[in-house]
Structures are given as C-alpha cells and as structure tokens.
Amino acid sequence: MNAELERDTSTIIGRQPVREALERGDLGIQKVMLKQGASGEDIGVIRTLAGERGAPVQYVPVERLRHEAEGAAHQGVVAISTPIRYREVDEMLSDIAPTWGDVKAKKPLLLVVDRVTDPRNFGAILRSAVAAGTDGVVIPTREMAPLNAAAIKASAGTAPRIPIARSNDLPRFLTSIKERGYWVIGAEGTAETPHWDADWDRPLAVVLGSEGDGLAPDVADACDELVSIPMAGPAESLNVSVAAGLLLYAAAQPRVRSGMRSRKEGEEPST
C-alpha cells in the first residue's frame, strides 16, 4: 500500500462518521480536529467521546480541515485514526466459513466489486453491504477507488464494520470460491435473467462492475450466472451503488426470513 493511500485511509470526516467511530472505539482514533469556534450539542458529544477514548481534541482553522478532508464536506469535524487494513483473502474466507460444509450450512453472502473508481460510489456500496448483512467484500488491487476519506464518509462511517480483502486476479478468485461451494452471480445490464428470478437462497458471491463498463469480460465469464435489473421507466441503468443495494437485499431476504423462522422455532439461525 502506497504512502498516499495509507494517509487517506486514516482520515474520517463529518460529524456522524466521527461520532460513530468514537462510539465504537475500534479504529484507534489518534486525534480529533474541530473548526475554531465550533459549538453545539453534536460538538459537545464528540468532545466527550474523544475524552473517554483518550483522543486529544484540537481546534484548528477551517483551511486545515479542508486540507485534511481533501475538499469533501467536513461539517467542521475531522478525525485521524489508524488506517483501515485490508484482509488477506484466504484469511477472510476462513473466518467466514472455514470448510465446504460450513459454507453450505451458513450460506455466506460475499460482495465482489470490479473496478468501481469513484470513492463515493465505493463508500455507498459498502454502506449497503453492511446494512444487508454481507459477510465480506473483495475488490481488485488495481483500477479501484481507494478507501479514503470520501469513501468512508459516503459509507456513513460503516466501512470499518465489514471485512474487505483485495485480489490480484478476480476471475481466479471467483473460480476458487466456486470450488468452496459458492454460487457466483454477476450484475450485467444485458443479461436475460431478471434478478428476481435468481435463486438467492444459497452460498453467494454477488459481483458488480465498474460505473461505465460494467463487468470486465473475464470476470463475467467466471460468473455462474448473470442477472439484470429490469428498468420499468425511461432509464437505461442505475447507479452502481443503487444496483448494489437492490441485489444485496434480494440476497439478504431469504437469510433474514430463515433467521426469523429459526428464532421463532427456538433454534439457532443458520447464518
């Protein structure tokens, strides 16, 4: 990881993301910077939480906040934390479901993101992934948006809550997880199968492509199935983060229902 990315991943911007990071206490907040003269209830809560975490609070000129936030809307609050670390792929998969039998029993849900280049889209995708209960995310090591301040803000501070791993070869990765028992569904606008006809009640990897080009051909070829999101109105396509939300919640529905049935019957949920 280069020095620029190391610096980017240590910046959290905005009142709510900083507050959530302080409340969770799992990011190692090194310091909190507030705009000179900032006051109010939100600022008071952030100051209190920072004190409880032992994180120093500094009042700084707005120019310093703009620099740290790289032009993003900071709302007068920026925190510096230890960088978010990417996981090793095999380690993440083993933590989720170590054996073929575990994969079949737990029916994990993975998200694979292929070359999304806008950090805000990346962050919004991660927010949907966390909300849908996704077990892990895999991204390519190249041609991918950084997990920087803009991405973390777009995720509403949820990015650190989900394991994220990077792969040098997404087609090879998809082949390897199929051998582990996962079914791989790729999002493709021209696919004949609408997403509501797919079987989501199985161990799954959902694959999304880039904003302009969609899935790379070799990534699409590595999928077991391609699905589309039909457009009922006069729109050609959806933003990739919106598509992510629709597909991940389609995959989440049978998992949530299964968990509800298990709890109603007094059993342990299967996921």
Q: What angle do CA 123, 238, 220 make, to 5 degrees?
A: 85
User: What are the structure tokens assigned to 241, written together?
Assistant: 């983060």
What is the model's pLDDT at position 9?
Answer: 45
Q: Which of 168, 176, 224, 236 is nearest to 199 (CA)?
A: 224
- The domains located in the chain, with CATH, are 3-81 (3.30.1330.30), 89-264 (3.40.1280.10)
Q: What is the pLDDT of residue 105?
A: 94
Question: What is the CA 247 to chain-centroid distance, rounded?
Answer: 14
Among candidates 131, 149, 200, 201, which has minimal Cα distance to 17? Answer: 149
Q: What's the rounded Cα separation, in Å, for the pair 218 and 232?
A: 29
Judged on CB neighbours under 10 Å (0-12, 13-18, 19+), 228 is middle
Which residue in 247, 269, 256, 259 sits closest to 128, CA to CA? Answer: 247
- pTM of the complete model beyond 0.95: no
Ordered DSSP codes for 66-134: HHHHTTS--TTEEEEEPPPPPBPHHHHHHHH--SHHHHHHH--EEEEE-----HHHHHHHHHHHHHTT-
Percentage helix, strand, coil for the chain under 3-state DSSP, each rounded to 5: 45, 20, 35
Residue 154, pLDDT score: 87
What's residue 196's pLDDT?
Answer: 93
Dist. CA 258–CA 269, nearest whole Å: 7
| Contact by Cβ (8 Å): 48, 99 | no
**Is there a contact between 138 and 108 (Cβ–Cβ < 8 Å)?**
no
Q: What is the pLDDT along the chain (271 residues), one digit of tens a residue?
A: 333 333 344 788 999 989 988 988 766 788 999 999 999 999 999 999 999 988 899 999 999 999 888 878 899 999 988 767 789 999 999 999 999 999 999 999 999 999 999 999 999 999 999 999 999 999 998 889 888 777 888 888 788 889 999 999 999 999 999 999 999 999 998 899 999 999 999 999 999 999 888 899 999 999 999 999 888 777 777 889 999 999 999 999 988 877 644 444 555 544 4
